[in-house]
Structure 1
């Protein structure tokens, strides 16, 4: 069985594609032969032609994506240890079914598991996220107004035009709305606005900037007061996201994965889109109605469905699959090694 790959990025991961799909990859460019399967990056615009070719020829399309535990460094400098393969849809497009929804619905029938709870705790204590290049492990240097997380709200930005924003039924204007709503609903709180890791590195634009915040504050009385009292600040510093989450009681987001990690950190999460973790009864869904395909499910069921059943963890050197606990250990060790290198003067 052959699986056709059109993009150079996915071709770099052809060994992993073969491992996950069981099909032999070949490049589509210049080939007249029709593959048995087509592969592409999720439902992004770059995969549109491949998806069309699959539909036209009556062949299955398989969506691949970075996993929720991807790597230490963001971008193309490091192969993802975590990968997703979806034969039905893709997790960030709530308008249609996905393998992830099926995984969560199955898990919701099993009840809680001590193994799942233990893995959640391992992830939390390992302080791992999708990207793991942060170097600040404490909020102490930020000059925060209070030591009590109940006095603090986190608003999460995403990269502009990200496919998960549209897939969650939201848009760029939604980010202004979540900020205004958060300030109105928490009039005396301190607000931290989380900048996306790739925006921090200058690789992608975010939906917020210092200039945009100034403009919004000038047009909104509540925001203007919050801004003038220095209760609203961007956090472009490379802070471990778990520190931010455990330092805030409420989180306002659109569809960021950080919103799910906020649930794991015990935060009250308000979603202004329909992310993969929305619609199961564990979030405050504010704008987009939950698909009838979802819920109810526990936090443990959503975690197990997403991080254990739906995700795959690849050891690229041995071309073999890892258990999630092994993937957590691998990323932890690699992060620590890169920090040692950084201490010797190299840039992580």
Structure 2
């Protein structure tokens, strides 16, 4: 059975239905820096943010009674899973759960950089990269009658052209280099292996074979013996912000390691074939007419457009590139105006990114104002700390971490996942 245009609203999301009273929404696994826009994006919800790293005892003693005291509460979880105590409570009390992740157009910056997302993916079944379960995106792609929706398909064709001609991607900005400068002259078939953070949820939940980036390079080299193999490790792995399960140096004999920053659109421009585990770069290659091999099961595999090494028996429908784009970029995500919080559209979001890229001064993040009191101490003496702490952060992390620290030192330390670094932050900035 296929869905028609009139049934599109069946894929409702958390903010789509007006309510007389704000819905009590208990949000979990949402880092502090991500919370700021939620009230603006979802004005019909009253959010209660549970602490990160919430222990079972604290949940039972503090949060479970609060949840049960509310009438018709709901859970909002960042990522593919609910913590076990909440999952058990949701099942026992039939509490609705929505999973949330950044959408496919995230920001005008080359990373999340603690800025409000321009789009979000919300799913009441499973987050889109979790291949273990059918998501609403998978259901939409498998059932929607795209060909009957002429207006949608016209938007999809225009949207593909808009992205490919503008070079806009999930993340944007960054150092502008050309493929020729980074790759050198093209003399033969060119294959790009897109590295990912191997312990990232999109890999752990999107690839059942536990494949590493090095395994992917070995696969590409064995199948493309006459091609130039380019291996682009993930920037966070190169900067050691995120851990690697495999060392790029071990496969350097088989490929050209690409360690310089290169916008994704430019990275793909001269490439003939892309190998990836689950990266969104594979989808961006598809809309550019590039052959793609997927080792895992990303949302765009299984529809007849990719060379898939992990079959998905739930998928089998053959989709056009325009239909896949329409489902993933036009119907599934929610787009927002980061200033007003109002819902936006794909086209308006692309326009916002283009405007921000053309006015880079608008991307600059103000540093905390100097005050003679408050969390920065008497006479604001803690404003002097970045001069001494910044070199350490740059050595241990990345330029992105330095930018985040300078913009808000207190929030930077509070949101770190490593407890020992959070403790150091408490020592340096005990207040706020």
Which range, TM-score by smaller chain?
0.7 to 0.9
Q: Deviations over 1:150-182 (max 9, x none)?
A: 610000110121111122233543433321221
Matches within 5 A, 1:207-286: 207-214=245-252, 224=253, 227=254, 232-286=255-309
Q: Is the 8 A contact 1:246 1:266 kept in 2?
A: no
Q: Which structure 2 residues correspond to residues 196-215 of structure 1 after superposition, within 5 A? A: 196-214=234-252
Which TM-score applies when normalising by structure 2?
0.68
Deviation of residue 128 (structure 1)? 1.3
Q: In structure 1, what is the Cα distance between the partners aligned to 2:251 and 2:191?
A: 16
Aligned partners of 1:200 and 1:187: how far apart in 2? 26
Contact 2:335-2:343 within 8 A present in 1 as well:
yes
How many angstroms does 1:130 deviate by?
1.4
Is 2:193 the counterpart of 1:155?
yes
What residue in structure 2 maps to residue 217 of structure 1? none
> 1:323 is matched with which residue?
345
Q: Distance in 2 between matches of 1:304 and 1:47?
A: 33
The residue number in structure 1 matching 2:221 is: 183
Contact 2:197 2:243 in 1 (8 A): yes
C-alpha contact (below 8 Å) 1:157/1:208 kept by paired residues: no
Superposition map of 1:48-127 within 5 A = 48-73=84-109, 74-105=111-142, 106-108=144-146, 110=148, 113-127=153-167
Residues 335 and 344, structure 2, Cα contact 8 Å, conserved in 1: yes
Larger Rg computed on CA atoms? 2
CA contact (8 A) 1:91 1:98 kept: yes
Aligned residue for 2:354, secondary structure, equals helix
Question: 1:296 matched to which residue of 2?
Answer: 318
Runs of 4+ in 1 over 4 A off after TM superposition: 46-49, 339-342
2:59 alignment partner in structure 1: none
- Which stretch of structure 1 is more off in the superposition, 192-201 or 126-135? 192-201
Scaled by the length of structure 1, the TM-score of the pair is 0.84
Shift of 1:184: 1.8
Give SS of 1:124's match.
helix
Is this contact kept in 2: 1:195–1:206, CA < 8 A?
no
Deviation at 1:239, TM superposition (A): 0.6
Q: Does structure 1 residue 33 correspond to structure 2 residue 66?
A: yes
Q: State whether residues 107 and 302 of structure 1, in contact with CA within 8 Å, keep that contact through their aligned partners in structure 2.
A: no
- Which fold has the larger relative contact order, with Cα–Cα distance below 8 Å and residues 6 or more apart in sequence? 1
Please state how far the C-alpha of 1:114 moved relative to its aligned partner: 2.1
CA distance in 1, matches of 2:75, 2:278: 27
Residue 135 of structure 1 corresponds to 175
Cα distance in 2 between the residues matched to 1:129 and 1:207: 27
Partner of 1:18: 42
Q: CA deviation at 1:331?
A: 1.2
Listed as ranges, the gaps of 5+ residues in structure 2 are 1-22, 52-61, 365-398, 404-432
Tell me the residue number matched to 2:55: none
